[in-house]
A and B are shown apart, each in its own frame.
Chain A
Amino acid sequence: NAGVTQTPKFQVLKTGQSMTLQCAQDMNHEYMSWYRQDPGMGLRLIHYSVGAGITDQGEVPNGYNVSRSTTEDFPLRLLSAAPSQTSVYFCASTHRNEQFFGPGTRLTVL
């Protein structure tokens, strides 16, 4: 199993641009989530999904959209990037109370 994969690893955007961070898992986990990690703030939940077709907001959802058309994929969309969205983004899937994290995407918004 590849586990949780994320692409790209690094991305630089200009303010106002849009992009999609990809996340996929091959463990058939129903629950997936997106976090952002900022210095001194730990990880904060952006959006999560309890299964295909079902998504919900986390702690910091503004400026981000998600969809879950399949069990495997859970993309995160930035509609109009802002410098405040400069962060490291982690996708995770959960099984039996254990979260499996992807390697992260480091995003810089200029």
Chain B
Amino acid sequence: AQSVAQPEDQVNVAEGNPLTVKCTYSVSGNPYLFWYVQYPNRGLQFLLKYITGDNLVKGSYGFEAEFNKSQTSFHLKKPSALVSDSALYFCAVRDSPTGANNLFFGTGTRLTVIP
């Protein structure tokens, strides 16, 4: 069974400080991992994905994520937070390339960047 955990419902960070949004996963095979962002009253927007290769993945809007197989984690990071980064962030996982393209989502983390 596949699952994703986002242990923090809410993350607050001051503008200009580094931010981290945590995600851990569980899959039976090799994971495909994703981060999405949702702004108020909008659909989800793709940020980045890990399929294979370098453990550090760079994505949109200056975000990056580090895949750690031993810790089964895929934390989202940004060196310097902007107020405009305030949104709801979802981590998602898909199990192996042979399965259907179904994503399992975490419950989301609301990021607030304080001016």
* B32 adjacent to A101 (CB under 8 Å): no
A→B interface (CB under 8 Å): 4, 31, 33, 35, 40-45, 48, 50, 56, 58, 90, 92, 94, 97-104
If A97-B32, A97-B94, A98-B49 touch, whether A104 touches B43 (CB-CB below 8 Å) is: yes
Picked from B34, B45, B49, B102, the residue with its CB within 8 Å of the CB of A48 is: B102
Interface size class of B (residues with CB under 8 A): 20 to 34
B28 at interface by CB-CB < 8 Å: no
Closest Cβ of chain B to A48, distance in Å, is: 6
Residue among B9, B36, B101 facing the most chain A CB atoms (10 A cut-off): B101
If A42-B107, A97-B94 touch, whether A50 touches B43 (CB-CB below 8 Å) is: no
Residue among B32, B34, B42, B43 facing the most chain A CB atoms (10 A cut-off): B43
> How far apart sit A51 and B43, CA to CA, in the bound complex (Å)?
23
